[in-house]
């Protein structure tokens, strides 16, 4: 049961305005810097890289639950569904990714020799790329409801979309040092995909139980009435998860 396009387009407009505001403010600040001001970012590259690598090993306990929302803004419409919020580890990963990309780009911009004829064009282009990257990140965060959502149409993980009709199997991800729920899709999408993981507050066990439940009956999410997600039978040590 999808609602009309008004809310979808209002959410897109809000996301566009937020992303544009961040991009414009960032661009104004960066373009006001000269080459000597940019040199300070060179020494920050190693620190930011170290933080980026370190945060990849953090696996906090995830005790959140999927929350019912009567209006979940997705890629093509608004419909009821279950939503998982971005976790603290997910926010840290997003921040670390943006910081690393921005600092490296600014460091490269500071290294451009002033004697090069095209530096007056090349350096502003790099600075504008940083501003656009930050604006795009804000747009994506505001654009959708929650980090991950289950609706009658399918699963949305960030900006990726997986219709229920394409999901052939779901199971815990078995790759080393990775988490999330592994999805085997139909032959049209050959590579398996992983959804959830440490980026969301919901544990893999809870997410897998919900996917298996609604993969068999996705219409249960379309009635418009609150839906309680199923709980996994037990954890690996025989106890119910917290």
pLDDT the model gives residue 211: 95
Average pLDDT, the chain: 86
- Kindly tell me if the per-residue pLDDT of 155 is higher than 90: yes
Q: How far is CA 21 from the centre of its chain?
A: 20
pLDDT the model gives residue 190: 62
pTM reported for the whole predicted model: 0.82
Question: Where do the H-state alpha helices sit in the chain?
Answer: 5-31, 35-38, 44-55, 88-111, 119-143, 204-216
Residue whose token pair is 């439940």: 213
Instruction: Give the residue extent of every domain in the chain.
Output: 5-221
57/54 Cα distance (integer angstroms)? 6
Taking residue 94's Cβ as centre, other Cβ atoms within 10 Å add up to 16
21/138 Cα distance (integer angstroms)? 10
What values do phi and psi take at 33, rounded to 5? -85, 145
159/146 Cα distance (integer angstroms)? 11
């Amino acid at each position: 049961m999808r609602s009309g396009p008004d809310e979808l387009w209002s959410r897109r407009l809000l996301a566009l305005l937020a992303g544009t505001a961040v991009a414009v403010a960032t661009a104004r600040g960066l373009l006001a810097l000269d080459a000597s001001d940019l040199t300070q970012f060179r020494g920050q590259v190693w620190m930011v890289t170290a933080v980026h690598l370190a945060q990849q090993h953090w696996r906090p306990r995830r005790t959140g639950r999927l929350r019912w929302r009567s209006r979940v803004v997705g890629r093509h419409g608004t419909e009821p569904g279950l939503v998982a919020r971005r976790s603290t580890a997910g926010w840290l990963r997003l921040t670390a990714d943006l910081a690393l990309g921005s600092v490296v780009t600014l460091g490269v911009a500071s290294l451009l020799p002033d004697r090069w004829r095209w530096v007056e064009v090349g350096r502003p282009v790099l600075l504008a790329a940083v501003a656009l990257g930050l604006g795009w990140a804000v747009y994506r965060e505001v654009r959708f409801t929650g980090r991950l959502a289950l609706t009658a149409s399918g699963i949305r993980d960030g900006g990726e979309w997986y219709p229920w009709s394409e999901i052939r199997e779901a199971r815990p991800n078995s790759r080393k040092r990775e988490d999330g729920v592994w999805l085997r899709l139909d032959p049209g999408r050959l590579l398996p995909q992983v959804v959830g993981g440490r980026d969301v507050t919901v544990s893999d066990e809870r997410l897998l139980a919900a996917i298996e439940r609604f993969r068999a009956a996705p219409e249960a999410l379309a009635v418009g009435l609150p839906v309680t997600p199923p709980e996994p039978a037990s954890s690996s040590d025989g106890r119910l998860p917290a």
